[in-house]
Chains A and B, each alone.
Chain A
Amino acid sequence: MLNLRNIQAVTRKEFYHLIRDFRSLYLAFALPLLLILLFGYALSLDVDNVETVVVDYDNTDFSRDFIRHLDGSPYFHIAAHLPNTKAATDYLDEGRAILVIVIPVNWTRDIRSERVSPLQALLDGSDPSFANITRGYVNAFISQYNQKLLIQFLNRQGMEQIKPPVDGQIRVWFNEDLESRNFIVPGIIAVIIMIVGAMLTSLIIAREYENGTMETIKSLPLTAGEFLIGKAIPYFFVGLTDVLISILMGQVLFGVVMKSSFWLMIMASSIYLAVALALGLFISSVTKSQLLANQGAILLTYLPSLLLSNFVFPVINMPKVLQLVTYIVPATYFINILSGLYLRNLGLAHLWPSYLVMIVMFTVLAALNYVLLKREGL
């Protein structure tokens, strides 16, 4: 049976501990601020204005026009015109450019005499994601340019007013301006909750063991359930405050607005936070050492919620085994809810399975915690 006064007593003790250790508390609030600022302001996975250097051996009106078009596109930025390939590859070596375009001699002449004329592009592939996107841009740019040349050719052949037969009208849904921020800023809430919820709580039972106060607690008329709930409550409120800070900052500073219901968000955050707390407490009572608990929390909560949750790293690209692992990472479900609430404007009708899975996770973890402490003699 849970005795409310006992819970209150444990909560008060843990709360004093939190208040007295002012800096941990202050960091628990500063961390979300830092992360939101970093992700919202500084970090982006989108590629535009790729630093490009050109070597134009041909130097005709046609080649200059090509380069002008390249520079005019939002995807490329011509950083320098260089006299030879050697100078350009030095740029690549020193990391001052990502892309080198080399226009060979007689390029224009070949095209004008209706031949296929090669254009050399050198791409720094060390960052594969960047390089992949850039390669796509270059290919798309060239094929559009070719289409223009084809239409010009047909018009020259006396067929006037030829239009391209099909026009691909590309629209983007859910994140209309293709800004990674619109998804990353809400997604970071999943990481923040894990850090605050699981990392902080992972220390609190271990601390009792390290200081030897666990024995005292065992001798008190306190049940395992009361102990766990009492310990978790202060951190629950810290975590929930962090969620509110994050929602507010995302909206005020970066205009990332929730499309769906605010209360669904609070509900999802509370469940997910409860999972995080239960996980943290579990790690804490298993390891019984603060250092180990902290390492365990980094490995079991922080890294998976960042890496294995479809947050910034697409699950679809992972090996099958890891794809299976993502199903037991709580953040996977929370991220799914976040993208539903923030971008897709979905309601409970679509999202209920994710809510349910998180509730089940919480129940299992809570039961494990209870059994573990019972066995310890609490």
Chain B
Amino acid sequence: MSWLRIRELVRKEFILLFRDPRTRRVLITAPLVMLLLFGYVVNYDIKLIRVGLLDQSHTRESRMVVDAFSASKIFMITQILRDDRELEQSLLNAKVDMAIKIGPDLARKIRKGETAEIQIIADGTMSNMASIRIAYSVQIIDKINQDLLKELYPQRMDYGKIDGRIRTWYNSNLDSQHFFVPGIVAFVVMLITLLLTSIAVIKEKEMGTIEQLIVTPLKPTELILGKTIPYIIISLAQMVMVTIIAIFWFEIPLAGSIFLLFSATCLFLLSTLGVGLFISTVSKTQQQAMMTTFFFILPFFMLSGFVFPIVNMPVFVQWLTYLNPLRYMLIIIRGIFLKGVGIDVLWHQYAAMAILGVVVFTAAIRRFRKRLD
């Protein structure tokens, strides 16, 4: 193996890549845009629930109910509705997230000691958001009940009750950015290496220059190294860039060790470069390579726990996720960033990623070599 030959190939690869100033710009802006998009878009915090109110009772009791809702900062009564038709329209047009209907007999029933119904109609379109909204309104209803009971039975009301003290660990403000931004580091690295490595080889094929490379004294191993090293360098640089922005712009505390993060990225690269090389062996044109890349990236992304929790998946699919390098990488990155855990907790993930990486990479190299011979 000659390092000189590898170095020259790497140099050629860099020249080709950077000759077009637009490619340079894309290599910098693509991760930036992704970082900003994911950093600001993926946010399930409930800050505001828009409520449409249909109060047919207009009594002191019904105002108590309404006040209980508007006293909480999250509920905001945005529409006062006059009849059922308006209620239906406001939900249909998505003007409100939830409608509350207080029937005309609310006060009468409460004063008689009966249970009065309050109808709460939630827009279920986004079911996860609807679940949170419903949970919030259940609490408000319980609070109304306690207030009303205290008023109806004004004696000593110090009854034994549970005070739920919920503490949140790792991401105590439940900040969505803290969860999603570190994951983008992994995603960007994957996207760039998968696509660029396969394209680098395919372009030689399309232009017919691959034959010229084969007749040069370049050995297959050198060719592979020369074709992958530039992208290792680029993706590591991107990883550093994204990490810096995550820490300084999004102010995400890096609780764990930066060295662990770096070594995890290197192990992760083994798998992604392997897949990239594999794609280059099965594709003839750039279009094919890009479509195939997408075919790999989508399931990698979806089945990694990046947005969709793995525990929610059917058991069979959960098993499949063990074949996904991004799954391990995300656990490691989030562990390092948020939990600050070390290798003692994460070594399973490192080991799994290393094994997966070595298997994928060697398989890809063997296939690649066969194609060259």
Contacts and interface: CB of A to CB of B under 8 A. Distances in A.
Contacts of B130: 172, 175, 178
B138 A165 contact: no
Contacts of A147: 142, 145-146
B146 A138 contact: no
Contacts of B343: none
A303 B184 CA distance: 13
A125 B45 CA distance: 12
Contact of B159 (A133, A153, A178, A317): A153
Interface stretch (A7-15, A106-114, A239-247): A106-114
Contacts of A116: 160-163
A179 B120 CA distance: 18
A16 to B, nearest CB: 14
Contacts of B164: 119, 121, 138-139, 142
Nearest to B172: A125
25 contacts: A38-B303, A41-B317, A43-B308, A45-B307, A110-B160, A112-B160, A123-B169, A126-B338, A126-B339, A128-B45, A128-B179, A136-B135, A136-B139, A138-B164, A138-B166, A150-B161, A166-B106, A172-B130, A179-B127, A183-B127, A291-B23, A303-B37, A313-B41, A314-B44, A344-B92
A2 B92 CA distance: 43
Nearest to A116: B163
B254 interface: no
Interface string B255-290: 000000000000000000000000000011111101
Interface stretch (B149-157, B214-222, B233-241, B356-364): B149-157
B160 A115 contact: yes
Contact of A139 (B45, B92, B139, B302): B139
A120 B165 CA distance: 5
Contacts of A124: 168-170
Given A110-B160, A126-B339, A176 B168 contact: no
Contacts of A162: 113, 149, 153
Given A114-B159, A143-B142, A174-B123, 11 more contacts: A24-B287, A42-B303, A44-B308, A111-B161, A122-B169, A128-B176, A129-B44, A144-B138, A167-B115, A168-B137, A290-B290
Contact of B153 (A127, A159, A169, A195): A159
Contacts of B175: 128
A221 interface: no
B296 to A, nearest CB: 11
A63 B127 CA distance: 32
A207 B287 CA distance: 9
Contacts of B48: 316
B26 A292 contact: yes
A167 B298 contact: no
Interface stretch (A26-34, A267-275, A357-365, A369-377): A26-34
Nearest to A180: B127
B341 interface: yes
Contacts of A52: none
Contacts of A67: none
A322 B33 CA distance: 12
B162 A146 contact: yes
A143 B284 CA distance: 63
Interface in A66-119: 92-95, 110-119
A170 B264 CA distance: 47
Interface string A23-61: 110011011001100110111111100010000000000
A5 interface: no
Interface residues of A, number: 116
A2 to B, nearest CB: 27
Interface in B18-48: 20, 22-23, 26, 29-30, 33-34, 37-38, 40-48
A169 B160 contact: no
Given A142-B162, A166-B144, A167-B117, A287 B290 contact: no
Nearest to B286: A290
Contact of A180 (B128, B146, B163): B128
A343 to B, nearest CB: 6
A27 B127 contact: no
Interface of B: 20, 22-23, 26, 29-30, 33-34, 37-38, 40-48, 65, 91-94, 106, 110, 113-132, 134-139, 141-146, 148-149, 152-153, 155, 158-176, 178-179, 191, 195, 199, 283-288, 290-292, 294-295, 298-299, 302-303, 307-309, 311-314, 317, 331, 334, 338-339, 341, 345
Contacts of A143: 138-139, 142-143
Interface of A: 21, 23-24, 27-28, 30-31, 34-35, 38-39, 41-47, 51, 92-95, 110-133, 135-140, 142-147, 149-150, 153-154, 157, 159, 162-176, 178-180, 182-183, 195, 199-200, 203, 207, 287, 289-292, 294-296, 298-299, 303, 307-308, 312-314, 316-319, 322, 339, 343-344, 346, 350
A45 B127 contact: yes
- Most chain A beta-carbon contacts within 10 A, residue among B30, B38, B178, B286: B286
A257 B210 CA distance: 51
Contacts of A111: 160-162
Given A140-B138, A166-B115, A287-B22, A122 B167 contact: yes
Contact of B132 (A136, A168, A290, A322): A136
Given A174-B124, A199-B290, A317 B45 contact: yes
Contacts of A290: 286-287, 290
A182 B127 contact: yes
